[in-house]
């Protein structure tokens, strides 16, 4: 298996368990979206509430922590072109403490909630969104398919 993600832990202790989840989730996503055989990759930061709050404020002008942020490098119609070179599909920032709280609140395992955030962020990088109901339905269908293949049912 090739490295599909450059993983960084900021203000969070590096944890092999989370690295394994990231790699497993993105292998499934890349295979599903026919990206696996290309040199494209994702940059993933696992961080704390204060750091994601600062990032959210800087790039979205929202002064609060959130569970996941996605910063795509390409528009949806440019991804085919990105496959031609070694390139980051984009950056994903996941707030582990919020993911842990949400897992408890929703009655999910931490692996399931963390995986969902990774898949959700991935599909934002792929150009999907959930602002319009039709777009939201397409994105949820793709997320659910990946999580089901991973044995982690989506039950939002």
State the CATH number of the domain containing residue 129.
3.40.390.30
- Report the pLDDT value the prediction gives residue 136, as an integer from 0 to 100: 77
Digit-coded pLDDT (tens) for 59-108 = 999 999 999 999 999 888 888 878 877 888 999 999 999 999 999 999 98
* Sheet architecture: strand order including 68-72: 5-10, 41-47, 88-95, 68-72
Output phi, psi for 130, to 5 deg.
-135, 25
CA distance 124 to 131: 11
Q: What is the pLDDT of residues 116-149, one digit of tens each?
A: 999 999 999 999 887 766 777 889 899 999 999 9
CB atoms inside a 10 Å sphere around CB 129? 13
The answer to the question of residue 142 being in a domain is yes
112 domain residue, yes or no = yes
Range of the domain at 40: 5-149
Is 53 among the domain residues? yes
In total, how many domains does the chain have?
1
Question: Does pLDDT of 24 surpass 80?
Answer: yes
Domain presence at residue 83: yes
pLDDT at 154 over 70: no
Residue 35 lies in a domain: yes
Tell me, what's the pLDDT at 155?
56
Answer for the pair 96, 45: CB distance below 8 angstroms, yes or no: no
The three-class DSSP label of residue 53 is helix
- Higher-pLDDT residue of 75 and 11 is 11
154 in a domain, yes or no?
no
Q: How far is CA 109 from CA 21, 42, 103, 145, in A?
A: 13, 24, 6, 18
Residue 99: Cβ-neighbour burial (10 angstroms; 0-12, 13-18, 19+): buried
Structure tokens at 95: 């707030």
- Average pLDDT on 12-34 reads 94
SS3 (DSSP) at 44: strand
pLDDT of residue 5: 92
Does the pLDDT value for residue 56 go beyond 80? yes
**pTM over the 0.85 mark:** yes
Backbone angles phi, psi at 28, to 5 degrees: -65, -45
User: Domain for residue 137, yes or no?
Assistant: yes
Output helix, strand, coil percentages for the chain, rounded to the nearest 5: 50, 15, 30
Q: What is the mean pLDDT of residues 43-60?
A: 97
Q: Check residue 135 and give its pLDDT.
A: 73
pLDDT of residue 87: 83
- Determine, yes or no, domain membership for 134: yes
């Amino acid at each position: 298996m090739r490295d599909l993600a450059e993983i960084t832990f900021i203000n969070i202790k590096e944890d092999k368990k989370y690295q394994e989840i990231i790699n497993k989730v993105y292998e499934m996503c890349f295979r599903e979206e026919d990206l696996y055989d290309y040199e494209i990759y994702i940059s993933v930061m696992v961080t704390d509430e204060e750091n994601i709050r600062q990032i959210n404020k800087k790039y979205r002008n929202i002064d609060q922590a959130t569970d996941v942020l996605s910063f795509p490098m390409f528009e949806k119609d440019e991804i085919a072109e990105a496959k031609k070179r070694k390139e980051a599909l984009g950056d994903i920032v996941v707030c582990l403490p919020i993911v842990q709280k949400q897992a408890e609140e929703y009655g999910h395992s931490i692996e399931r909630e963390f995986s969902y955030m990774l898949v959700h962020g991935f599909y934002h990088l792929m150009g999907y969104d959930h602002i319009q109901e039709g777009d939201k339905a397409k994105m949820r269908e793709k997320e659910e398919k990946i999580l089901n293949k991973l044995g982690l049912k989506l039950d939002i």
